[in-house]
Amino acid sequence: MTINVRFFASLRERIGHATLTVEADGIASARDVWKAVSGESPDEEMLVAINKEYAGLDRAVADGDEVAFFPPVTGG
Amino acid sequence: MTVEIREHPFDPWQTVSEYRSTRLASGKSGASAVFVGTMRDFNEGDEVQAMVLEHYPGMTEQQLEDMRSEAVSKHGLEDALVVHRVGTIYPADDIVLVAAFSAHRKEALAACREMMETLKSTAPFWKKETLAEGERWVERNTPG
């Protein structure tokens, strides 16, 4: 399974990458993707999008999905 | 261009004026409600010299378009317009324009406010401030 992972704002700086590709079996949810890229449990405030739509951490991911992690939004 | 991300400074008043004259049906909108957000030179007690606004290309535009079309549908607007800056901005630069056009004021005012609050809480933008000493991310928006 290949997942394209994106990070924005402070999470991009923390991870040290804007994008990463995760190729691994045993990844079922966005939470698993986060653990694979960070080795940490997710922050409570962290937001997730799958294929550019908001999703919960426990939403299932599929091969080829784009999964994005970012902090609370601060536009406007 | 009912939803637009701009990388360079823009004049929201000129944008509204041009939109009204070129895109709206003449004589249909009795009410135009407009919100313009502008960069301050202070935040949380500190002087802010500049700010970088980041977004999620593709997702941001889709979120704004969904928000805009929902507002048009819910309030029966004639039309609505959303413009947001990204990139490096400076105090007094305009950041966001939200405009709602409807037959009567009630719907235009309600839709303008609702769109602005939805934008603040859901549109994927992030601000990083440049202070006299260093930089910091804005962690969250204040409630409206």
**CATH number of the domain to which B119 belongs:** 3.90.1170.40
Q: What is the pLDDT of residue B109?
A: 98
Q: Is residue B101 part of a domain?
A: yes
Cβ contact (<8 Å) for A75 and B140?
no
ipTM of the complex: 0.96
Q: Chains A and B: how many Cβ contacts under 8 Å?
A: 71
Q: Is residue B10 part of a domain?
A: yes
In tens, the pLDDT along B67-110 reads 999 999 999 999 999 999 999 999 999 999 999 999 999 999 99
- Taken in order A40, A42, A43, A47, is the CA torsion positive or negative? positive
Q: Is residue B144 part of a domain?
A: no
* B132: containing domain: 3-137
Residues of chain B contacting A73 with CB distance shorter than 8 Å: 120-126, 141
- Describe the strand order of the beta sheet including A47-50 as a list of residue ranges: A19-23, A2-7, A66-70, A47-50, A53-55
Residues of chain B contacting A75 with CB distance shorter than 8 Å: 53, 55, 84, 95-96, 119-120, 123-127, 141
- pTM, full prediction: 0.96
In tens, the pLDDT along A8-39 reads 999 999 999 999 999 988 999 999 999 999 99
Cβ contact (<8 Å) for A74 and B138?
yes
Percent of chain B with pLDDT over 90: 97
Question: How many structural domains are present in chain B?
Answer: 1
How far away is chain B from the Cα of A9, in angstroms, using its nearest Cα?
6
Domains of chain A: 2-70 (3.10.20.30)
In tens, the pLDDT along B117-126 reads 999 999 999 9
Cβ contact (<8 Å) for A74 and B84?
no
